[in-house]
Chain A
């Protein structure tokens, strides 16, 4: 009996290969849409079944793989990873719609969407470090090709910077994994890369302070670069500016979430054994990102780069939630902060898909992304403008949208533990509002800029993808329970393994 997760892998892998081998665009998109929507349906089935079972960790599959060094094929989902799997399948399924009219090497384009979906789901469901790392690295390859083959004028630079920068962070993380593995053997345990086993054995390992801090710092670096946190963010704006729209949606929508996911999956369970100051290190990275990104976004002439910087700011809130969930304080706010940050992973993924989708539509229909050269697009593209403005409002954190739930929980949950940082984070909110609204005002409102020429409203496939994302933003903003309950349970379980009263 093949489990849900393995069948998702099989469907995506076969679908990707078939898509790659198709000859025409019609065939390619047909296979891709079928594959990705089948996957989405399976993910939704998993959601229902998961809620019915009410368990902590489900759909577990364990098979021996390389027993000599203790590698297993161990996959499962829990309240942390299932929302991520859902996010990946939703984004990718709609990407295949959004890319409906992709003309350049369309079979390869659609195949890459499926390959990256395969790898991303792998990252979120793996519970073996070896397996996890394979997927973690494999994600880079399709994105490298997205930027390189379909990218803008400076694609060579952006693609290679993306690949090398994130690869370096991965190998540093790998050193941390090696060290955990080694000390686990040294402690007399059987060799294993199994994540739950290693994490539960971790507190008892015979580690000196140097090694504890090294392991923690190595993993933290790996995740912070992926998120990315300022000052390790410089690969992101370049990658976004050059990447095609689908590449950007996937990059900001799902790839960045890998870093946040890693923090929750690996780092928080390890924190009791690292030095106390790491709580503040994480908080500091968070706050620098939260404060730096809006100012940087303010100055961007290119709307896509503006959105890229807004992502960095929003990902900072996740780091803040992570720091707050381990800092000293009561259980309830810590769970609230962690749960909010997990929810933010999902929420920001959907919102950013709308934003980058909008930037793509603007570029597609007007030929430019420079805000100054736009103006009054709402008059010519009313349907699109409606969806885009909702997306921007959601990004600000407008009540009634998912971002509000997420950021409110993070800030409210963080305040009792680290009021100072929360106050600092609050400073960013008016600036965030300001640059979002200012961008809307310049690009969409006001008199129509005649120099753009004739424009039509966005095409049906673009509008459909945007509309579904916007619907999710509202639906889960008004009734977040389906996801929030899961993240809340996951957060409660996570906080449960930490020492009572937190650290520092």
Chain B
């Protein structure tokens, strides 16, 4: 019975969402609802943190709570928290902000459901619970045509990918007669001997590929991240993308482990092209949000190295999975922080009398070091973390991940990955150059607390975890062990 209390955080988030939308009808000071959301998320975060080593199976084994689940729930709650703090500033005077917070909370609950699910149907429903609110959120600046374009593209591709995913799931159900991941695992022999299993695997992979924005299923991501409101881009890049990683880890490493030789090759090819294409195209971008979108694609390429290593070498699987989830975390923190800074730059441009470009063009970053010194420093650290320069958390996670590739005997993959990572320094450093030695195009401005606080929290996490990663590494190893049994 007490096991059901483990679901308290996710239920709290859902309840909060309903509360916010109902309370929004009655109160004038809608900004207060943002604080309510933040308080609720913080409470959910702390409760989850206190049960981080929980182990339970609920509702006829269709929902599980284990360190792996808790790790990612903490990640989602943290991302949501950062985005909410920044949104206090971003949507300060928006009359519809109650709906915004409600949708954000609902999507967060969906993310948590995906990681809790031990059943393909719950996983799919959780996915939809993430997707539907985020389609709306991407178009939340409804008078901005870019935002509408982002939303529409995201919706069409998202619906398509959901359909493909569901199609794949239906094949799995057809082969094994069940949707429960662990029962599928018990039917491994059926799966391994079925001629349709590879087809089902490919359909599921393509479905997840769209959601993770792997090349060649990535086309929607740059347009969506660029057009969506910056705080929503932060949520999409840090949260929604990670949901796809969680789901893929669960489905491929538990249910489809029997046919790992088939997906090993698929993931190896996808990893190489995803990181290479992402990095090369990111170099050419003049829009910072697009650059961050492509860098996000490249980071997805790094994370799926974990799948390749796991399929290749059973001894290294735990290290690789720990590396993969740690890197997903460092990417989420870095990307959330970086997009929040773009939100700030958009605000700065608007304050200067310019059009709100959403902090988009790299030219807007000229002299940021003089105009907003604190934000500039935070952005620099965030970008260096994404680039993997020590002593940031981004360096540490790449270190663990690429080390696991060598340990798995995949030297070629490690070489491609580190060269890609080295190349990526170029486009991050280019932004840093603009920040510190571009000519400022305006006066020094007062930096709003909301943005600074959100970015600062991300930077503190990056530095503390980068300098002392030991506790988190243990947590990630526990999480990996929980998933792999």
Contact = CB atoms under 8 A, between A and B. Distances in A.
Please say whether chains A and B are actual partners in one complex: yes
Contacts of B411: 175, 179, 214
Given A144-B432, A175-B414, A182-B406, 11 more contacts: A130-B399, A133-B390, A141-B389, A148-B436, A156-B437, A160-B430, A163-B425, A171-B421, A174-B402, A175-B402, A175-B411
Given A171-B422, A174-B418, A178-B402, A134 B470 contact: no
Given A69-B400, A134-B390, A138-B390, A164 B436 contact: no
Contacts of B389: 137-138, 140-141, 167
B406 A179 contact: yes
A141 B470 contact: no
Contact of A159 (B433, B468, B470): B433
Contact of B425 (A66, A67, A69, A167): A167
Interface residues of A, number: 35
A175 B437 contact: no
B367 to A, nearest CB: 12
Given A149-B437, A178-B403, A178-B406, A168 B391 contact: no
A66 B469 contact: yes
A325 to B, nearest CB: 30
B423 interface: yes
A163 B429 contact: yes
Contacts of A138: 389-391
B418 A175 contact: yes
10 contacts: A66-B468, A66-B470, A134-B390, A138-B389, A148-B437, A156-B437, A159-B429, A171-B419, A175-B402, A185-B407
Nearest to B414: A175
- Enumerate the 10 nearest inter-chain pairs by beta-carbon distance, A residue then B residue, closest first: A134-B390, A171-B418, A178-B406, A168-B422, A66-B470, A171-B422, A182-B407, A137-B390, A68-B473, A178-B403
Interface of B: 384, 389-391, 395, 399-400, 402-403, 406-407, 411, 414-415, 418-419, 421-423, 425-426, 429-430, 432-433, 436-437, 468-470, 473-474, 477
Residue of B384, B389, B436, B468 most packed against chain A (CB within 10 A): B389
Nearest to B430: A160
B473 A141 contact: no
Nearest to B434: A156
Contacts of A182: 403, 406-407
A179 B468 CA distance: 24
Contacts of B407: 178, 182, 185
B390 A160 contact: no
Interface string A125-155: 0000010011001101100110011000001
Contacts of A181: 403
A159 B438 CA distance: 14
Nearest to A214: B411
A148 B433 CA distance: 7
Interface string A160-201: 100110011011101100110110010000000000000000
A172 B418 contact: yes
Contact of B419 (A67, A130, A160, A168): A168
A447 to B, nearest CB: 40
Residue of B384, B432, B468, B474 most packed against chain A (CB within 10 A): B432
B437 A155 contact: yes
Interface in A53-68: 65-68
Q: Is the interface of B mostly helix, strand, loop or mixed?
A: helix
Contacts of B419: 168, 171
A178 B430 CA distance: 29
Contacts, number: 87
Contacts of B474: 68
Given A66-B469, A171-B421, A175-B418, A145 B426 contact: no
Nearest to B408: A182
B425 A164 contact: yes
Contacts of A171: 418-419, 421-422
Contacts of A170: 422
Interface string A222-264: 0000000000000000000000000000000000000000000
A14 B407 CA distance: 38
Contact of B470 (A67, A140, A156, A185): A67
A68 B470 contact: yes
Nearest to A136: B390
Contacts of A164: 422-423, 425-426, 429
Given A155-B437, A168-B422, A141 B391 contact: no
A61 B430 CA distance: 39
A145 to B, nearest CB: 7
Nearest to B469: A66
B384 A141 contact: yes
Given A137-B390, A171-B422, A68 B477 contact: yes
Nearest to B390: A134
A73 to B, nearest CB: 11
Nearest to A138: B390
A65 B469 CA distance: 9
Nearest to B387: A167
A167 B429 CA distance: 12
A137 B394 CA distance: 13
B425 A134 contact: no
A145 B437 CA distance: 9
Contacts of A141: 384, 389
A486 B472 CA distance: 42
A451 to B, nearest CB: 32
Residue of A68, A140, A160, A181 most packed against chain B (CB within 10 A): A68
B437 to A, nearest CB: 5
Given A134-B390, A168-B422, A178-B414, A144 B403 contact: no
Contacts of A144: 429, 432
Contacts of A214: 411
Nearest to A144: B429
Nearest to B477: A68
B383 to A, nearest CB: 12
B378 to A, nearest CB: 15
B470 A149 contact: no
Contact of B406 (A156, A172, A175): A175
A141 B421 CA distance: 16
Contacts of B421: 171
A7 B154 CA distance: 54
Contacts of B384: 141
Contacts of A69: 400, 403, 473
Nearest to A150: B437
A171 B426 CA distance: 14
Nearest to A133: B390
